[in-house]
Chain A
Amino acid sequence: MPEIKITPLGAGQDVGRSCILVSIGGKNIMLDCGMHMGYNDDRRFPDFSYITQNGRLTEFLDCVIISHFHLDHCGALPYMSEMVGYDGPIYMTHPTKAICPILLEDFRKITVDKKGETNFFTSQMIKDCMKKVVPINLHQTVQVDEELEIKAYYAGHVLGAAMVQIKVGSESVVYTGDYNMTPDRHLGAAWIDKCRPDILISESTYATTIRDSKRCRERDFLKKVHETVERGGKVLIPVFALGRAQELCILLETFWERMNLKAPIYFSTGLTEKANHYYKLFITWTNQKIRKTFVQRNMFEFKHIKAFDRSYADNPGPMVVFATPGMLHAGQSLQIFKKWAGNEKNMVIMPGYCVQGTVGHKILNGQKKLEIEGRQTLEVKLQVEYMSFSAHADAKGIMQLIRMAEPRNILLVHGEAKKMEFLKDKIEQEFSVSCYMPANGETTTIVTNPSVPVDISLNLLKREMALGGPLPDPKRPRTMHGTLIMKDNSLRLVSPEQALKELGLSEHQLRFTCRVQLHDPHSDNDTLGRIYTHLKSVLKSYSIQHVPDGTVIVESIVIKVTSSAEEPNLKAILLSWSYQDEELGSFLSTLLKKGLPS
């Protein structure tokens, strides 16, 4: 029985280090290869020894597919390909290919240069890793090898984010990566066709959340920023350089313009300008509105937002700062946070999800005293606000995607176990399909039941379709007959006659002759006539002919009547039929034995 096996090495009942192994039709595929923000030890990367204990990655994997550039989806890539060792193809979209190495280099710098870790991947390794990347376009069918094909769909989560369909023969898997079902200020909504995969692997970050309208959240966000700035406070918005940052920048830029505000807005890293440039060059990946107007006005050229310098953090007066990284776990956003945390006039707005173990996660849970780097404690007096701007599908969105793709099974990853449990129940109730949520290292096996493709001779098909009439009748299904010829891996369905001819076989005629005697005081010819009338009344749906040469023919059964001169009233009825009319022949011989109605 064909099976599909799915094993998360990361993101199983967890958010972070997404890495999912799929075995389908004899092919092995790795989906994403991320790092975990909550850990600084071995646990930050997926456990590749799951594969390597049995040999090299290159031998095991047919390909690696990266869904988008966030580090929890691609952060372990150079480690996997250069340090563990993988030389096969790595597929990702063009924007991901462009942006991913920059974020990896950033990550490397923070880890090696700032924290002083050794035994980490180097810049050269990132470059070598990227050489193995094959860029793919949306909706392009990429033939990885003769049997394995992959196709990317728009996921809307960040620039270049993709969902992928993996197909071998008639079996298929769809992996969503991270996706967003509602268009935002810079990206469109995820879309997939009704591709009916055997299993849909979906993220479930917001499994239990149903978010209010985007507009409300935006108004709320602007109100909070505005109020804080009005009372002279500073607003820190930790973000990742690409993604939410651009959306919130567009939002603040238009608000500042409309309200004629003067407080400065800064963007912390040198990446901004570069990042915005990517958006300009990959404008075809943004939403309809931006794409339509980009010639007249490029939304990614900001007037009010300036580059940040470290010294500005101590400037008096209100300001808004976008700083990286987004979960306050390191870098500039954490430094600024430390400076501003003690003042209750200030505010930090967390616009996205924070992984367990990060400062962001702690303060969102209301922790008021933080231990930083083991020594000092930091008192958190500033206001902490959480606003879900991260572009993940909420429960409603996940259900919507399921309706779009119509999968036969669903598997949840990239979420917290408790929330998954809830969503799993909901999915199983609403769609009556099985839903799985394996933990890391746990394998889910689903049995697929692929149909068998066969070449049917056009003559046979056309004949059957013509016989079936213009409209099929579901109450009276018509049975068709054919002969399946299996030869050299080809399966051909032809009519029995054609099969005989093709195989060089001759037909064997099996015939039966049966004599029935009965008394009937009429001439032979009249007896035949009486038989004809009798059969006419019994057999309504058969063709019956009375041929003048003295036979009655029912379908292909021949009936003759004879009598001897001695006993003219004792008739011998001769029935002769071939095997093809066996049932009818048998029926007629029994019927006639009972005599004719008078």
Chain B
Amino acid sequence: MKLYCLSGHPTLPCNVLKFKSTTIMLDCGLDTTAALSFLPLPLVHSPRLSKLPGWVSKDGAINLEKELKECSGRVFVDSQPEFCLPEKELLDLSTIDVILISNYHCMMALPYITEHTGFTGTVYATEPTLQIGRLLMEELVTFMERVPKAHAASCWKNKDIQRLLPSPLKDAADVWSWRTCYSMSEVNSALSKVQLVGYSQKVELFGAVLVTPLSSGYSLGSSNWIIQSHYEKVSYVSGSSLLTTHPQPMEQGSLKNSDVLILTGLTQIPTANPDGMLGEFCSNLSMTIRGGGNVLVPCYSSGVIYDLLECLYQFMDSANLGSTPFYFISPVANSSLEFSQIFAEWLCQNKQSKVYLPEPPFPHAELIQTNKLKHYPSIHGDFSSEFRQPCVVFTGHPSLRFGDVVHFMELWGKSGLNTIIFTEPDFSYLDALAPYQPLAMKCVYCPIDTRLNFHQVSKLLKDIQPLHVVCPEPYTQPPPAQAHRSDLMLELQPPPMAYRRCSVLGLPFRRRYERIQLLPELAKSLVPSEIKPGVSVATVSAVLQSKDNKHVLQPVPKPAPVPPSKKRKRVMEEPPEVLNPKPLLSGAVPLEPFLATLHKNGIMEVKVEETADGHILHLQAEDVLIQLEEDGTHIICDNNEPLRTALRDLVLRFLQKL
């Protein structure tokens, strides 16, 4: 049993588990932080960006002014943004049987894995994960394809050049594995391989393994997975939350009794309390609006945005924001808002009960109906004519490298009245802002990450008691910036097994048993005998049938009767077939009862002689010797086959057969 770790990113995992005869990929996260090394893709021509100077090394020896641009002391690649893919060389991806997806953020690399690698397996995900995942991929593709770049930069990746570049480009890892975004047809093809599953649905893989998704409480349709056989159980915990937001609460009980628990997707901001951040978000927002400025919220199109809108819905009137326009701009804004309302089964209790009324579960339906929230596919079209300031704009992408947010950065960045509020925890806000410097706009960092923190996870692990924990390496030490905070790491006994990108871990399993079915006819024919109080044994002779990794024992078919044409004599001369081995014998033959039995069977004259290990019986009339010892019986009998077999059966009466 092995775990191949294809991504080192703790919240965007991609691991492959070899379990029994199956190869299971756990999540397929795409590390988009690589995009931060690139120049933003403006929707409208930006004179500022196009005028940035090209980069030439100090000694002038390397001239990459076409590929690299300098902005406020940082160097950016001027090319279509690229992402860091899961490792493709560690194992043959075409051997993967299934991919289990835990939430829509952890499936963004799917097209890279399922397309062009020879992958022929099945992807399992819940319906909200599939639908919202599709929206996020569609959004990503649209962002990229809307503003194509004529040329791709790759010279800078040359090892000899890269090491001479300024930080952080110099330190970027695995740059040759970076790829530009996939196409919509690749997305469609990848998603056509998804098979939908529901929480607590038991899915059987090749008759060998059962996989079950459990609610993880993090996002719509997000799940943890149980991967088990009759005897072994692996829990895969990824992106879970114990906070009450919109999704169904996390199911914890089923994680108990795991042999191995693979733990990923803890909060990226362990020091920030999501509730506090939400409060700060609201107060900064209303302060800016009151001051006549605009608020820009770079965000993903699904997830925390639903909670932000709900929070604003409650906060709006008390904060006198009733007349302030709220805009949500994304190619998938409408779909995201609509889809959020149809997944009642995947929501928390109080949202679910709204559907019974029937009312839409999220209050953003009302915000849209009353025109307080408007959504647009992009800044082009209706938005440009209907747009009023001051306003609040929710738009992507949170990396600030592509999407409509780039336009608002260029538009509002120069005024100190405006505020940008970061709520997504995936990107360092300083890195995100770097290509826009110098910036007059106010920046507020309120990362809202509802995933488990170290305190919650250690309590959880205490409850569910896994035998072994596997986790990404960063969880085994405090964050580098807070080296003294030993509470911001996992401290467990036995210590967790840590992995990094390209690790291959052997999981501590010893499989000893397998489930087999005895057919009722066979079970009925067994003759158990009690060996010790409470322990019985029965010898089983049966035919093993193995099909689809399922094993069944059937009764031995009766041999076909010997054709009568054969002469009896000839039959005797046939050697016995290599057939049933005899059972093992155990126990001892006690002297006195054995003598009595011999007597009863007409053998009267027995001379008993004591030896070091037992007795020798001399059957004088028959001239047979029987050696009786604690752990053996030896019958020496010449030329009298009927007598020998009779004696054999008498001895067998005293022995246990196994």
Task: Name the one of A140, A507, A580, A584 contacting B586, with C-beta atoms under 8 angstroms.
Answer: A507
Contact B586 A508 (CB under 8 A): yes
Task: Name the one of B537, B644, B648 contacting A485, with C-beta atoms under 8 angstroms.
Answer: B537
Contact B200 A142 (CB under 8 A): yes
Complex Cα–Cα for A508 and B582 (A): 13
Interface string of A566-591 (1 = CB under 8 A from B): 00000000000001101110110111
CB neighbours of A478 from chain B (8 A): 543-544
Contact A492 B513 (CB under 8 A): yes
Question: Is A521 part of the binding interface, using a Cβ–Cβ cutoff of 8 Å?
Answer: no
Question: Is A372 part of the binding interface, using a Cβ–Cβ cutoff of 8 Å?
Answer: no
Within 8 A of A (CB), among B193-245: 197-202, 212, 230-231
CB neighbours of A94 from chain B (8 A): 344-345, 352, 355
Complex Cα–Cα for A277 and B344 (A): 13
Contact A139 B201 (CB under 8 A): yes
Contact flag A503-B344 (CB < 8 Å), given A295-B335, A538-B575? no
CB neighbours of A580 from chain B (8 A): 581-582
Of B75-83, B477-485, B635-643, the segment with at least 4 beta carbons within 8 Å of chain A is B635-643
Question: Is A60 part of the binding interface, using a Cβ–Cβ cutoff of 8 Å?
Answer: no
Task: Name the one of A278, A464, A506, A591 contacting B358, with C-beta atoms under 8 angstroms.
Answer: A278
Task: Name the one of A486, A508, A541 contacting B578, with C-beta atoms under 8 angstroms.
Answer: A541
Complex Cα–Cα for A509 and B572 (A): 28
Task: Name the one of B516, B588, B644 contacting A508, with C-beta atoms under 8 angstroms.
Answer: B588
Of A37-45, A409-417, A452-460, the segment with at least 4 beta carbons within 8 Å of chain B is A452-460
Contact A486 B536 (CB under 8 A): yes
Question: Is B173 part of the binding interface, using a Cβ–Cβ cutoff of 8 Å?
Answer: no
Q: Which residue of B lies closest to A97 (CB)?
A: B356
Q: Which residues of B contact A (CB under 8 A)?
A: 127, 197-202, 212, 230-231, 334-335, 338-339, 341-345, 352, 355-356, 358, 360-361, 511-520, 523, 526, 528, 531-532, 534-546, 551-554, 556-557, 572-573, 575-589, 631-639, 641, 644-645, 648, 651-652, 655-656, 658
- By Cβ-Cβ distance, the 4 closest A-B pairs, closest first, are A509-B632, A451-B517, A496-B584, A477-B543
Contact A508 B556 (CB under 8 A): no
CB neighbours of A591 from chain B (8 A): 573
Task: Name the one of A140, A465, A508 contacting B201, with C-beta atoms under 8 angstroms.
Answer: A140
Complex Cα–Cα for A499 and B657 (A): 11
Contact B531 A284 (CB under 8 A): no
Contact B517 A455 (CB under 8 A): no
CB neighbours of B644 from chain A (8 A): 512, 514, 586
Question: Is A263 part of the binding interface, using a Cβ–Cβ cutoff of 8 Å?
Answer: no
Contact A141 B201 (CB under 8 A): yes
Q: Which residue of A lies closest to B634 (CB)?
A: A511
Contact B632 A511 (CB under 8 A): yes
CB neighbours of A468 from chain B (8 A): 544, 546
Contact B541 A479 (CB under 8 A): yes
Min distance, Cβ B591 to any Cβ of chain A, angstroms: 15
Interface CB pairs A-B, < 8 A, 26: A94-B345, A295-B334, A451-B519, A452-B517, A456-B514, A464-B544, A472-B545, A479-B580, A481-B540, A485-B535, A486-B528, A493-B516, A496-B584, A506-B586, A507-B585, A508-B631, A509-B631, A509-B633, A510-B632, A510-B635, A511-B633, A512-B634, A514-B644, A516-B638, A541-B577, A593-B639
Q: Which residue of B lies closest to A580 (CB)?
A: B582
Contact flag A140-B198 (CB < 8 Å), given A295-B334, A482-B540, A541-B578? yes
Q: Which residue of B lies closest to A504 (CB)?
A: B532
Contact B344 A505 (CB under 8 A): no
Within 8 A of B (CB), among A421-470: 449-458, 461, 464-465, 468
Contact B344 A281 (CB under 8 A): yes
CB neighbours of B345 from chain A (8 A): 94, 135, 137, 284
Contact A453 B517 (CB under 8 A): yes
Question: Is A377 part of the binding interface, using a Cβ–Cβ cutoff of 8 Å?
Answer: no
Min distance, Cβ A560 to any Cβ of chain B, angstroms: 14
CB neighbours of B536 from chain A (8 A): 485-487
Question: Is A98 part of the binding interface, using a Cβ–Cβ cutoff of 8 Å?
Answer: yes
CB neighbours of B635 from chain A (8 A): 510-513
Interface string of A124-160 (1 = CB under 8 A from B): 0000000000010111111000000001000000000
Complex Cα–Cα for A374 and B144 (A): 75
Q: Which residue of A lies closest to B337 (CB)?
A: A295
Min distance, Cβ B630 to any Cβ of chain A, angstroms: 8
Complex Cα–Cα for A351 and B197 (A): 35
Min distance, Cβ B637 to any Cβ of chain A, angstroms: 6
Complex Cα–Cα for A484 and B588 (A): 21
Question: Is A308 part of the binding interface, using a Cβ–Cβ cutoff of 8 Å?
Answer: no
Task: Name the one of B201, B512, B543, B544 contacting A457, with C-beta atoms under 8 angstroms.
Answer: B512
Min distance, Cβ A198 to any Cβ of chain B, angstroms: 13
Contact B198 A138 (CB under 8 A): yes
Contact A508 B352 (CB under 8 A): no
Complex Cα–Cα for A239 and B558 (A): 63
Contact A542 B360 (CB under 8 A): no
CB neighbours of A98 from chain B (8 A): 355-356, 358
Within 8 A of B (CB), among A62-98: 94, 97-98
Contact flag A274-B358 (CB < 8 Å), given A451-B520, A479-B556? yes
Min distance, Cβ B6 to any Cβ of chain A, angstroms: 29
Question: Is A404 part of the binding interface, using a Cβ–Cβ cutoff of 8 Å?
Answer: no
Question: Is A515 part of the binding interface, using a Cβ–Cβ cutoff of 8 Å?
Answer: yes
Question: Is A307 part of the binding interface, using a Cβ–Cβ cutoff of 8 Å?
Answer: no
Question: Is A210 part of the binding interface, using a Cβ–Cβ cutoff of 8 Å?
Answer: no
Contact A514 B637 (CB under 8 A): yes
Contact A513 B586 (CB under 8 A): no
Contact flag A483-B545 (CB < 8 Å), given A281-B341, A586-B641? no
Complex Cα–Cα for A593 and B575 (A): 15
CB neighbours of A138 from chain B (8 A): 198
CB neighbours of B584 from chain A (8 A): 496-497, 499-500, 507
Min distance, Cβ A469 to any Cβ of chain B, angstroms: 12
Q: Which residue of B lies closest to A277 (CB)?
A: B358
Complex Cα–Cα for A135 and B573 (A): 72
